[in-house]
Amino acid sequence: MIASCLCYLLLPAARLFRALSDAFFPCRKNALLAKSSSSQVEGDFAMAPRGPDQEECEGLLQQWQEEGSSQVLSTVSEDPLVDKGLAQSSLALLMDNPGEQDATSEDKWSSRQLSDLRAVENLEEPCPEVLGDEALPEVEGPMWAAVPMQSGPQYADCAVLSMGALAAEQWEEDPAVVAWSIAPEPMPQEEAPIWPFEGLGQLQPPPMEIPYHEILWREWEDFSTQPDAQGLEAGDGPQFQFTLMSYNILAQDLMQQSSELYLHCHPDILNWNYRFANLMQEFQHWDPDILCLQEVQEDHYWEQLEPSLRMMGFTCFYKRRTGCKTDGCAVCYKPTRFRLLCASPVEYFRPGLELLNRDNVGLVLLLQPLVPEGLGQVSVAPLCVANTHVLYNPRRGDVKLAQMAILLAEVDKVARLSDGSHCPIILCGDLNSVPDSPLYNFIRDGELQYHGMPAWKVSGQEDFSHQLYQRKLQAPLWPSSLGITDCCQYVTSCHPKRSERQKYSRDFLLRFHFCNIACQRPVGLVLMEGVTDAKPERPAGWAESVLEEDTSEPEPVFPRTVGTIQHCLHLTSAYTHFLPQHGLPEVTTMPLGLGTTVDYIFFSADSCENGNGTDHRLYQDGTLKLLGRLSLLSEEILWAANGLPNPFCSSDHLCLLASFGMEVTAP
C-alpha cells in the first residue's frame, strides 16, 4: 500500500506537498515515517520488542495506511503522469536525513521514531517545513525517477532516466537516436540525490543530447594545414585527401558465445537492434571515405549493414570466414572518391597444413582515387587497402605469423607496379597483438628473427613464461609448398617464367631460320610432283646441326633464410600507442576489464633517420602522408564509462579513424 502512494514524485515539488497536506491529516507523523522504505518501516516495527511503545507505533502505521493512503490515491488518480511502477522512488523527496536508517539497535529506532512522532504532533508549521528549513520551490524542468535495474553483481544499481524518455519508451526502442541529437550547449545537470533504497543507485547517465565522442573525450588530432574548398591541401603541392576507419564491430554470435565477457553490461545495450542503431550513427557522424570492418556477422551484413551503407553512398565487399564461421571482414568505399581496380579475398586456411588450419580471412582492394574535374589532367597513384582479423589464440603466435605472411604476399602482388615498386598501402584490422610485440615490430620494421622464440611471445597478449611446456617456433616456419618465400612474396612474383627472363638476340634467332627437321620428309606425305618431291638445299654456312637447349621448366627453387622472415612494404602505424597528455598507454579494447591495443592502421611511409633515432612521423615525397587521426582513450577513462561496450559505444573495440593525403602529379 505504501508503494501505491509513492507516485507523487512525478508531480512538481510544490504541487506534491500541497497534495500531501490535503491527503494526510497527521502529515507531520507520516513525513517521519516516510524516512524509511515500506519494508524497512514494517520490518523495524515487527522486530522491536512488544510493549506500549510498540503498540502505539503499529497503530500509527495502520492509521496512516488506512486513512492517508486512501486520500492520496483519490488525489493522485487525477494526474495522468502517475506511474505505479515508479512508486517507491517518491520517498526520496520526503527524506530529511537518510543516515537515520542506520540505527544502532532496533529498540532505539522504535523509541526514537515514537518520540519524533509525538513531537511533530505539537508543531503548527506547514508540512513542507518538516522536510527542511525552507519550502522547496516549484521546478519546471524535466522530472526524474529512480528506475530499479536487474539485481546481480554484474549490473549497476540503477539508472536515472528522463521521464519524457520513459514515457516515449525511447530507451528501449531507439535510444541511439536520442543519444546522437547534438545540442549547441549541454545543459548543466543538477546533482542527483542519494537514494537510500536497496537495489537503487545514484548514477545519472550523461545527457542524451551530447554525442558519445564528446562524453568519452575523443578528440581529432590535426597534423595538416587547412584544406581548400576542393578538399585538396594548400602547401608544396596539391594532395588527394581521404579518411579511413577501421572498426571491430563485435559480431552478435561471438558475443553470445562469450557472454561471460559482458556481465558488466545491461542486457538492453547488448541487443543487436540497439547496437546496430549506434553503429550506423557512428558511421554517419564520422563519414569516412573508406570503411574497414571486422567481426561482421553474415546475416546482419546482407540484411541490414550492406543496404544501410549502400544508402549512405558506400560500395561494399565482404568475405566470410571459412568453415562454419558466421562472421567475416568487409571493406566499403565511396565510389564518388575511388574507382575499384581489383578486389582479392584472402583465406588463411590451407588443407593439410597444421600451421594454417584456422578460418581467419582478409580482404585486399586496389582503388584508384578520383580527383576533381577542375584540376585538369592530373593523376594519383592507386591505393591498396588491406583489412584482416587474425587469430586470437595468444598461445599460437606461429599461426599469427603465417597468416600475416599470406596477407603481406597478397598485398605485395596487388600493390606491385610495373617498375617493381609498390603503390601506397594501408593495412588495418584487428591483429590480436600488442604494440612492440614481435608481430608488431615485424610489420613496422620489415624483419623478424623468430627461430627459438616461444609462440606465446609473438603477440604479447599474455605471459605464459611460467609454464613448463612452451611451443617454440622452428625454422622454416612454413613449408615451401605454401608457395610463399621468407620475404613474404609469392614464388611466381619472385621467379618469373624462364621465357620471360631469357633475352634473345637477333643473331641467335637467325640461326633457327632453317633447321634440320625442315629438310626431312614427313612420314605419310602425299607425293606431288613439283611440290613435295623436291628437297630443300642447305644454305651456305649453315651448320650441320644446332645444339638444342633444354627448354624444360625446372622446379622453382628459392633460398630460405634460417629463422628470419622479411617484407619490403615499408609500413608504419598511424597511432603512437601512448597518450602524452595523460602519460598513459592508448587502449582500443578492454577484454575482462583490462585495457590493451590490438587494432591498428598501418600505412606506407618511409621513415627517416635522425640523431634521436627513427622518427616515424617524417615522410618522403610521393608516399602517404598522415594528416590527422581520432584520438584513442586510456583504460581509466573507459572504466569511467563502464568499460566496453557501453550505452554510447556498442562494440568491445574503439574505432580507429585517420586522414591521409596522396600526392597529385601532372602527366
What is the H or E stretch that residue 17 is in? helix 13-23
Q: Quick: pLDDT tens for 475-492.
A: 999 999 999 999 999 998
Query: What pLDDT does 403 receive?
Result: 98
Query: Grid coordinates standing for 182?
Result: 547534438
Residues 404-431 have a mean pLDDT of 96
Strands 425-430 and 383-389, sheet pairing: parallel
Query: What pLDDT does 136 receive?
Result: 45
Q: How confident is the model at residue 379 (pLDDT cuts 50, 70, 90)?
A: confident
Query: What pLDDT does 541 receive?
Result: 61
Q: Please give the Cα distance from 472 to 395 (Å, whole number).
A: 10
Residues 363-388 have a mean pLDDT of 91
* First vs last C-alpha separation in the chain: 85
CB atoms within 10 A of CB 77: 10
In contact, 204 and 181? CB cutoff 8 Å:
no
Query: Grid coordinates standing for 590?
Result: 578492454
Query: What pLDDT does 494 receive?
Result: 67
Q: Please give the Cα distance from 175 to 180 (Å, whole number).
A: 9
Query: What pLDDT does 144 receive?
Result: 41
Burial of 199 (0-12, 13-18, 19+ CB in 10 A): middle
Rg (CA), the chain: 37
Nearby residues of 151 by Cβ (< 8 Å), 6 or more positions away: 199
Instruction: Lay out the sheet containing 425-430: strands in order across.
Output: 338-347, 361-369, 383-389, 425-430, 599-604, 571-573
Q: How confident is the model at residue 537 (pLDDT cuts 50, 70, 90)?
A: low
ω into 479 cis (within 30 of 0): no
Q: Does residue 85 surpass a pLDDT of 80? A: no
DSSP 526-541: PP-TTTTS--PPPPTT
In contact, 158 and 55? CB cutoff 8 Å:
no
SS3 for 256-288 is HHCHHHHCCCCHHHHCHHHHHHHHHHHHHHHCC
Buried b / exposed e over 94-118, threshold 16 CB at 10 Å, is bbeebebeeeeeebebbbebbebbe
Which parts of 300-436 are beta strand (E)?
315-320, 327-333, 338-347, 361-369, 383-389, 425-430
Q: How confident is the model at residue 583 (pLDDT cuts 50, 70, 90)?
A: confident
Query: What pLDDT does 7 receive?
Result: 46
Q: How confident is the model at residue 42 (pLDDT cuts 50, 70, 90)?
A: very low
Query: What pLDDT does 525 receive?
Result: 78
Which of 81-95, 202-216, 647-661 is most confident? 647-661
Query: What pLDDT does 523 receive?
Result: 75
Average pLDDT score, the chain: 73
Q: Please give the Cα distance from 272 to 650 (Å, whole number).
A: 9
Q: Please give the Cα distance from 77 to 166 (Å, whole number).
A: 19
With CA atoms as reference, report the closest residue to 340 among 365, 307, 320, 303.
365
Which of 44-48, 321-325, 441-445 shows the lowest per-residue confidence on average (mean pLDDT)?
44-48
CB atoms within 10 A of CB 150: 11
Q: Does residue 128 surpass a pLDDT of 60? A: no
Nearby residues of 158 by Cβ (< 8 Å), 6 or more positions away: 146, 147, 148, 149, 195, 199, 200, 201, 202, 203
With CA atoms as reference, report the closest residue to 251 among 290, 212, 301, 286.
301
Q: Does residue 333 surpass a pLDDT of 70? A: yes
Query: What are the φ/ψ torsions at residue 534 (nearest 5 degrees)?
Result: -85, 150
Q: How confident is the model at residue 110 (pLDDT cuts 50, 70, 90)?
A: very low
Quote the percentage of the chain above a pLDDT of 70. 55
Tally the C-alpha atoms within 13 A of residue 507's C-alpha that lie toward its C-beta.
0
DSSP, collapsed to helix, strand or coil, labels residue 302 as: helix
**Whole-structure pTM over 0.75, yes or no?**
no
C-alpha 391: how far from its chain's center?
17
Which of 40-49, 234-243, 322-331, 437-446 shows the lowest per-residue confidence on average (mean pLDDT)?
40-49
Domains of the chain in start order, with CATH, are: 245-461+473-492+559-609+616-665 (3.60.10.10)
Residues 140-149 have a mean pLDDT of 40
Q: Please give the Cα distance from 661 to 24 (Å, whole number).
A: 73
Q: Quick: pLDDT tens for 614-646.
A: 444 444 545 799 999 999 999 999 998 889 999
Q: Which residues pair with 148 in a beta bridge?
A: 158
Tally the C-alpha atoms within 13 A of residue 458's C-alpha that lie toward its C-beta.
34
C-alpha 53: how far from its chain's center?
62
With CA atoms as reference, report the closest residue to 401 among 463, 462, 327, 451.
451
